[in-house]
């Protein structure tokens, strides 16, 4: 596939209707449009067009077994893409849509099977970014959109990241600036006996449990070469991966930080280029040791860390580091989503540090 990619800069709050109309026309013509959502950039196609949906998988080099999220403009359209919508879905939608929550529901007859990788279910969300909403309203179509990165690369939080991965593979990129949340939506499966959290994301688990007390989360990560077919898709390790090796330090902050400093010294002494993702208060100390450092923003501000996470991984990769060292956040609130993305990027290489 080799389409010239047209980048259309748009105001993130009041996008130019002419640019939105062009992008909507491209979707109707079976083309691909990348657009900002409040989480990350999506790579969109008309969800009702089998061939357009197939182009998403080709552009991303994504396995056909990994289903896509269908984006709609309004909760009222959920019955156009799903059927037998349970009451809990309506309640969660009323509370959290538009916003970073994806609901897995029984797939409606209009949605072609390749959107859902052949499953009888469909993942649906209403994004709240004004550019995404303007596009969905102008197109009057459900839009299938995974994150607009090549498969297993960090998700794109800026139009430049989309171009890094997909230039020449997408017809239009709506550039609405950086995406505010920076990690993907929370995915909840409502098709089983009990609701299940499949992917932690922009809406914290705790907020969902207030409405869905039975909501369970039992992460089961799979190695990329596992023969086992994932019971839930999207559980692969080696996802969100930069080219560098990622080392995740888990443990009490002071002890983990000391171990990281020791690891930086050893690797630099061995001639390696080393990258560190760290809170801004800790960045200067790592820089003095000779590491390339990207800031995650003020310590303990999980929103800042989430919004800088994927960009930080890409920036360190671009500097050619062999390893990226990072300390794990607490697994609560947005920290659960950050932990999940970092853990997958490590492909399981976690360094447990005991108290000190």
The site for ligand TXA (CB under 6 A) is made up of 37, 39-40, 42, 66-69, 100, 102, 104, 116, 119, 121-123, 127, 145-147, 184-185, 187, 189, 198-199, 232-234
Smallest gap from Cβ 349 to ligand TXA, in A, equals 21
102 contact, one of ligand TXA, Mg ion, none, CB 5-8 Å limit per kind:
ligand TXA
What residue spans of 140-201 are helical by DSSP H? Answer: 159-166
- From ligand TXA, Mg ion, none, which one binds at residue 245 (CB under 5 to 8 Å depending on kind)? none
Minimum distance from CB of 252 to ligand TXA (Å)? 31
Whichever of 175 and 189 has its CB closer to ligand TXA, that residue is 189
Residues 6+ apart with CB under 8 A from 291: 264, 268, 274, 275, 276, 325
Neighbouring C-beta atoms of residue 99, cutoff 10 Å: 19
Q: Token digits for 243?
A: 């080219």
Q: How far apart are CB 320 and ligand TXA at their closest, in Å? A: 26
- Coil, strand or helix at 102: strand
User: Distance between CA atoms of 209 and 101, rounded to whole angstroms?
Assistant: 13
Collapsing DSSP to helix, strand or coil, 104 comes out as strand
- Closest to Mg ion by CB, 239 or 259: 239
Residue by residue, what is the 3-state secondary structure of 200-250? CCCCCHHHHHHHCCCCECCCCCECCCCCCCCCCCCCECCCCCCCCEEEEEE
Question: 294: phi > 0 → left, psi -120 to 50 → alpha, else beta; which?
Answer: beta
Least Cβ distance, residue 236 to ligand TXA (angstroms) = 9
What residues between 140 and 179 interact with Mg ion by CB under 5 A? 147
- Minimal distance in Å, beta carbon 346 to ligand TXA? 18
Secondary structure (3-state) at 278: strand
Give the CA distances from residue 257 to residues 95, 121, 251, 304, 337, in Å, rounded to whole numbers and listed in that order.
39, 43, 9, 19, 21
Q: Which one, 23 or 69, has the nearer CB to ligand TXA?
A: 69
Binding-site partner at residue 123 among Mg ion, ligand TXA, none, CB < 5 to 8 Å by type: ligand TXA
What does 116 bind: Mg ion, ligand TXA, none (CB cut-off 5 to 8 Å by kind)? Answer: ligand TXA
User: What tokens appear for 134 in the block?
Assistant: 């303007």
| Least Å from the CB of residue 18 to ligand TXA | 23
Q: Which residue is nearest to ligand TXA (CB)?
A: 234
Distance (Å) of CA 352 to CA 239, 259, 279, 335: 21, 10, 19, 17
Q: Which is nearer to Mg ion, 46 or 147 (CB)?
A: 147
Hey, what are 234's tokens? Answer: 């999207």
CB of 90 to ligand TXA, least distance (A): 19
Q: Residue 60 or residue 257: which is nearer to ligand TXA going by CB? A: 60
For Mg ion (CB under 5 A), the number of binding residues is 1
End-to-end CA distance of the chain: 54
Of 133 and 293, the one with the shorter C-beta distance to ligand TXA is 133
| C-beta closer to ligand TXA: residue 69 or 264 | 69
Nearer to ligand TXA, 327 or 341 (CB): 341
For residue 4, which of 36, 40, 32 has the smallest C-alpha distance?
A: 32
Minimum Å gap between C-beta 40 and ligand TXA is 5
Point out which residues bind Mg ion (CB under 5 A).
147
């Amino acid at each position: 596939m080799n389409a010239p990619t047209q980048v259309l800069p748009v105001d993130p709050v009041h996008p130019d209707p002419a640019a939105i109309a062009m992008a909507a026309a491209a979707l109707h013509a079976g083309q691909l449009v990348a657009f900002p959502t409040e989480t990350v950039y999506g790579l969109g196609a008309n969800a009702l067009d089998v061939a357009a949906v197939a182009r998403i998988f080709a552009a991303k080099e994504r396995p056909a077994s990994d289903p896509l999220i269908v984006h709609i403009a309004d909760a009222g359209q959920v019955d156009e893409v799903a059927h037998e919508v349970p009451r809990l879905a309506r309640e969660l939608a009323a509370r959290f849509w538009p916003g970073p929550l994806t609901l897995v529901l029984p797939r409606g007859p209009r949605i072609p099977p390749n959107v859902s990788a052949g499953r009888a279910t469909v993942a649906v969300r209403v994004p709240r970014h004004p550019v995404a909403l303007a596009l969905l309203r102008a197109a009057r179509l459900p839009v299938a959109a995974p994150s607009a990165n090549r498969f297993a690369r960090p998700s794109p939080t800026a139009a430049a990241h989309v171009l890094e991965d997909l230039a020449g593979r997408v017809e239009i990129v709506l550039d609405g600036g950086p995406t505010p949340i920076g990690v993907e939506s929370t995915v909840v499966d409502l098709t089983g006996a009990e609701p299940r959290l499949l992917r932690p994301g922009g809406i914290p688990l705790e907020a969902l449990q207030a409405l869905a007390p039975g909501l369970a989360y039992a992460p089961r990560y799979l190695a990329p070469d596992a023969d086992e077919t994932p019971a839930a898709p999207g559980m692969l390790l080696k996802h969100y991966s930069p080219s560098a090796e990622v080392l995740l330090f888990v443990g009490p902050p002071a002890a983990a930080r000391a171990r990281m400093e020791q690891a930086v010294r050893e690797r630099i002494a061995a001639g390696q280029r080393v990258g560190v993702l760290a809170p801004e208060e800790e960045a200067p100390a790592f820089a003095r040791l000779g590491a390339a450092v990207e800031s995650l923003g003020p310590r303990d501000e999980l929103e800042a860390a989430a919004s800088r996470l994927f960009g930080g991984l890409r920036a360190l990769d671009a500097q050619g580091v062999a390893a990226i060292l990072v300390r794990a956040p607490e697994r609560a609130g947005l920290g659960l989503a950050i932990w999940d993305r970092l853990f997958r990027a490590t492909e399981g290489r976690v360094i447990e540090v005991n108290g000190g």
